[in-house]
Amino acid sequence: MTESLLADLAQQIKIWGRELGFQQVGITDCQLEEEGERLRAWIDAGYHADMDWMGAHGEKRWRPELLEPGTLRVISVRLDYLPPDTQPIKVLKDSSKAYVSRYANGRDYHKLIRKRLANLSKQIDTYCAERGIESKGRAFTDSAPVMEKALAAKAGLGWIGKNTLVLNSTAGSYFFLGEIYTNLPLPIDISEEHDQCGDCVACLRVCPTDAFIDDRTLDARRCISYLTIENKGPIPEEFREPIGNRIYGCDDCQIVCPWNKFAKPTKEKDFHPRHELDNGELLKLFTWSEEEFLRKTEGSAIRRIGHERWLRNLAVAIGNGETTPEVINTLESARANATPLVLEHIDWALERLRSGRRRKRKIKRKPAG
């Protein structure tokens, strides 16, 4: 396959990607040794909490050619998800409302992106087949041992910010990533998105649970997104009050990022809020039966945490709100049928509400030693 043909295909891939709805497409190589070393050190320090899957695949995570033999290049794509007319700060300040991370307000992104990547792969295969070229590719989106952020940064989609997210100078950070591993030696994009965080530390300072060890190092054990989504057990008491009304994930380090003034509302209707998940009432959501929860979260990323953890998170958020007879009665009524996990958090909420304690909006990490 000649260089001119590869260059033409690379250009076509970017055109096809935009036609499929991706806002950006970049191409990079498979060299991630430096990023792999940082990941190993991060896991060795225990910052991954109990997410053992992050270290389960060894070098396959930072050596794409081991995960998918024959891989020479990675095609990285960006799909913006910020819902229109979203008012995150207003919701966060209303203790009667439930805050759901904006990426989870609509349809689960996995199936949507995977389908589009499959279509992009077909177009690549067709192009190659018409020219007698053997092509092989495999699509991913947050579903395999792939270092998505590192690959996206190398492919020119942005830089890794101090909040550990990929930042883009024209789009902020409210976007999903996806990849195609391919055996085609496509020309590599040279990133023009160099680190532009400068002296800004807004994201580090705003974190309610002080989860950042330093810039670009996150301790998942303290992160609200981990605590409310990946964590299957009780939420440690020291983090319950700082969680506030965040019932699924946290966007604080994105909300304060100056680069997100450039984030554009998505035109993808699938990412628009459903069932008022962008502005729901805590008590109303807490009264959802398991059947109602499964029905209203069908096709949503939220469904993966299950009804029990949904109630656990809501109990904490309600406990951080205002004390009213309705709130107390709702929590008391839920005790009878609550699982041990949920009951622990209901009782914590009742004790907090009855004691009249004011919520701590932020906690500081205890000094070492």
Closest of 66, 243, 214 to residue 138, by C-alpha: 66
Q: Which residues face 140 on adjacent strands?
A: 179
The Cα–Cα gap between 139 and 309 comes to 30
pLDDT band at 366 (very low <50, low <70, confident <90, very high): low
> Which sequence spans correspond to the domains of the chain?
3-85+104-182, 202-256+274-355
- If pLDDT is split at 50, 70 and 90, which confidence band does 215 have? confident
pLDDT tens digits along 159-185: 999 999 999 999 999 999 999 999 999
DSSP string, 327-344: HHHHHHHHHTT--HHHHH
Calpha distance 192→257 (Å, rounded): 20
Region 297-312: mean pLDDT is: 97
Is residue 143 very low, low, confident or very high in pLDDT (cuts 50, 70, 90)?
A: confident
Give me the pLDDT at residue 300, please: 95
Give the pLDDT score at 361: 60
For residue range 247-260, list pLDDT tens digits in order. 999 999 999 999 99
Has residue 130 got a pLDDT over 50? yes
Predicted local distance difference test score (pLDDT) of residue 38: 95
Give the pLDDT of residue 5. 96
Task: Give pLDDT, residue 225.
Answer: 99
Distance separating alpha carbons of residues 112 and 149, to the nearest angstrom: 19
> Residue 54 is which amino acid?
M
Q: What percentage of residues in the chain have a pLDDT greater than 70?
A: 97
- Point out the catalytic residue in the list 29, 94, 125, 142: 142
pLDDT (mean) for 26-55:
96
CA distance 310 to 270: 22
Active site residue 125: no
Least confident of 329-333, 360-364, 365-369: 365-369
- Look over the chain and give the mean of its residue pLDDT values, rounded to a whole number: 95
Which residues on neighbouring strands pair with residue 246, listed in sequence order?
99
pLDDT of 359 above 60: no
pLDDT bracket for residue 357 (50, 70, 90): confident
What pLDDT shows up at residue 358?
Answer: 61
- Rounded CA separation 57/68 (Å): 13
Residues 73 and 188: beta-carbon distance below 8 Å? yes
Q: What is the pLDDT of residues 324-343, one digit of tens each?
A: 999 999 999 999 999 999 99
Task: Determine the pLDDT at residue 336.
Answer: 97
pLDDT of residue 360: 57
Q: Spell out the residues 6+ positions from residue 174 whose beta carbon is closer than 8 angstroms to its own.
A: 80, 81, 82, 102, 103, 254, 260, 263
Rounded Cα distance, 336 and 339, in Å: 9
Q: Which amino acid is at 117?
A: L
User: Average pLDDT for residues 336-355, to the nearest whole number?
Assistant: 98
pLDDT class of 1 with cuts at 50, 70, 90:
confident
